[in-house]
Structure 1
Amino acid sequence: MAKSLRSKWKRKMRAEKRKKNAPKELVRLKQALSLDKKGEATMTDIQEIATVVPADKIKKQTDADMVEVEGEDGKMELDSKRNKKTQLDENGQYPGWMNQRQAKKLKGKRVAKKKTGQGKKKKGIAW
């Protein structure tokens, strides 16, 4: 797909930017790993930048988490505090996946029902 002149130009410019920023990025990476000093990264330097946790501790933690998950019924927590008909939660908010048009439509139905005391009458046989 992406064969238009605009996309070709954008790809070209991104490549130019990568070339321009590559030396700075390399220096930054070397500084983070402290390779520019000795040729070897020391744990004290890295600990200033990031949190260092031993691998065996992480493995034990993930194993414990797996045991807890297997112990449950395997059901997801659902948003049970949401009204099924109006889709509103306890704060009067619609779900995140709902678009504005759907929300407006539901609100219109809700307001009309409140005004008249009942919703739209269904069409049916007159007798």
Structure 2
Amino acid sequence: MAKSLRSKWKRKMRAEKRKKNAPKELARLKQALNLDKKGEDAMAEVQEIATVVPADKIKKQTDVEMGEVEADDGKMEMDSKRNKKTLLDENGQYPAWMSQRQAKKLKTKRMAKKSGQAKKKKGISW
């Protein structure tokens, strides 16, 4: 694919655009990385306004907070109790994420087990 004349032309023009915009992008990148003199002046102004905290301190602080959170059992609180085998809750309802087809399949399996024999499916028998 992508061998048509139109796509070749588009690729060529994009390459030319990249060449044309490369110096501007480089200047913007240098300014963003504070390699340019103007960027250093702006950083000095920011330091006067706000306190700059090293990343190490922040990481240590978050590690301590995470330790406090892990002190819990780490279990989610469940509103309803669900049977793991049938996926039914105490009201006999299937979970919201389950499709009707899947719920019906589980119900027929459960009823077949209860009665001893499976209900015959409708359809064409060959």
With normalisation by structure 1, the TM-score equals: 0.40
With normalisation by structure 2, the TM-score equals: 0.40
